[in-house]
Amino acid sequence: MVIVTAEPAPTSRTPDSLTSLETRLGVTFRDRALLLAALTHPSYANEHPSDPAPTNERLEFLGDAALSLVVAETLYQRFPEVQEGRLTEWRSYVVQGPTLARVASERVDLGPALRLGRGEELTGGRERDGNLERAYEAIVGALYLDQGVEAVRSLVERTLGDEFDRLANEVGVLNAKGTLQELAQDGGLGRPDYVVVSQDGPDHSRRFEVEVRVGGTAFGRGRGSSRQEAEKQAALQALPGLRARATQVSGSTSTGNAGASGAGIGA
């Protein structure tokens, strides 16, 4: 049951908006009050003391533990040949704040569903990585209480499945900038150039957008709460395109060499 305050604020969630979020998550909560709590930022609770929904802080604590367990189990089952040290690195990558914030924003579109106070709303709280990460973890905790660990596994597979695929298919994902630089220099394109194209938010919570250019061509863009994180995300986005270009150039060179050799033999 969703309880609406007597004086609805622009940041409160309606039943329809909760249903829309559930559709994006692929989940129908039995106890919707848990979902409402998972979306409630402390700033909203401070401004609406009569609202019965608690903040999402306790659910975030529970969700962090449940998510870490499920991700660790998924990695253990999916990569039987990978040793403990590498599995630990991979788990850290999947559950780190920037990864969860990106998934919450791009795959779940969680920002519009957050319950924020007016001050947090006005300073870009719906796009803030910390808010998105914590709300995602809180939803995991709420789902664990509502339906158990199997439901959490299903949610993780739906929303974080691409991250597991990336670990399996993209060599160098944990050191994207180093891998990109190696590819660029091996291809004779020089060092990648990272350019800040925008930054917004208050001084204590800036958000950067960075474009990475290789040989004068833009290959990727990334956003993050620091310039370093935005550069890493840009490098991750750029890797597939630069690999494809390197393969194409290599193929063209091989074809050209083969043609030259054929001409020489025929001469």
Verify whether residue 150 is a known catalytic residue: no
DSSP code of residue 8: -
Task: Annotate 77-110 with b (16+ C-beta within 10 A) or e (fewer).
Answer: eeeeeeeeeeeeebbebbbebbbbbbbbbebbeb
| Identified catalytic residue from 51, 64, 129, 133 | 64
Q: Which residues pair with 211 in a beta bridge?
A: 195, 221
d(CA 225, CA 245): 30
Catalytic site residue from 51, 60, 133, 137: 137
Clarify whether 137 is annotated catalytic.
yes
Any idea what the Cα angle at residue 20 is, between residues 16 and 23, rounded to 5°?
Answer: 140
Per DSSP (E only), the strands in 150-250 are: 193-200, 207-214, 217-224
| CA triple 194-111-107, angle to 5 deg | 70
Active-site positions read 64, 137
